[in-house]
Amino acid sequence: MHNYNHILKAIQEEQKLLAVLIDPDKVVLETLPMVMNKINASIATHIFVGGSTDTYNKTENVVKAIKGETKLPVILFPGDYSHVTEEADALLFLSLISGRNSEYLIEQQVQSIPRLKNTNLEIIPTGYILIDGGVETAVQRVSNTKPMCQDNTDLIENTALAGEYSGKKLIYLEAGSGATETVAPTIIKRVKNSLSVPLIVGGGIRTKEQLEGAYLAGADLVVIGTAFEKNLSFFDHLKK
């Protein structure tokens, strides 16, 4: 549990973590060295690789190419069991606990086992909670589940705790890639205060202020994808 322990240690030492999400469907392999240079010079601590779809089955090659350009841990954030590759350092073993679609609660997980059982991939059980981010996101479309309303803080908190009590080692509050509304700091705070396991927050974070707001509210690890995809100089403001 090397990568998970590293997350726990960072929290103990009050260090905040930042993952850059690289979507195999969108990345251009030729420009990856330049992209990775920017990331390596920034405060990013992790690379997440994944997306709701991987149309061209590129995940494994993308992970290999990233590994060749960085020492940062590369963690899979799969949309589907077919995106699992041993080339990564760890896998967020996601269960979409905000939804009631058994496909994403247990079926995809069962389907992934033949690929996983003989690998050394570190598997991190993760409760994934989709929160309404103002627009219909790919997660919502692909998973065919409804996001949780940001007004329903009690239900969000209870869902997160149900995840922890079911043995999830991480809880991920997700507004969805490209969200116009991020997960509200009040929600992050409430969930963080209840949980004992680390809290990941992502979706729609496009400014340094939003990033700092998420940390201040209690996010242990923040995920940023779109802001960096759209503007590679985004991380110029987040240099080491």
| Binding footprint of ligand 1GP on the chain (CB under 6 A) | 21, 174, 177-179, 202-205, 223-227
Tell me the closest approach of the beta carbon of residue 149 to ligand 1GP, in angstroms. 18
Shortest distance, position 183 Cβ to ligand 1GP, whole Å: 9
- Helices 59-67 and 32-40: angle between axes, nearest 10 degrees: 50
DSSP H helices in the chain: 2-12, 32-40, 59-67, 102, 108-116, 138-143, 153-165, 185-194, 208-217, 226-230
Closer Cβ to ligand 1GP, 78 or 225, answer by number: 225
Instruction: Give the residue closest to ligand 1GP by C-beta.
Output: 202
Q: How far is the CB of 140 from ligand 1GP (least distance, A)?
A: 12
Nearer to ligand 1GP among residue 119 and residue 218 (C-beta) = 218
What's the min distance (Å) between Cβ of 52 and ligand 1GP?
8
Handedness of CA 44, 230, 137, 134 (dihedral sign): positive
**Rounded Cα–Cα distance for residues 151 and 137 (Å):** 18
Amino acid, res. 126: T
- As measured in angstroms, the least distance from the Cβ of 222 to ligand 1GP is 8
Residue (5 or 231) nearer to ligand 1GP, CB: 231
- Grouping H, G, I as helix, E, B as strand and the rest as coil, residue 224 is strand
CB 160, CB 195: distance < 8 Å: yes
DSSP letter string, 112-149: HHHHHTT---EEEEEEEEEB--SS--HHHHHHT-PPBP
8 A C-beta contact, residue 75 and residue 90: yes
- DSSP 8-state assignment for residue 150: T
* β-bridge pairing 46-49 and 199-202: unpaired
Q: Which is nearer to ligand 1GP, 179 or 195 (CB)?
A: 179
**CB nearer ligand 1GP, residue 197 or residue 211:** 211
CB of 22 to ligand 1GP, least distance (A): 10
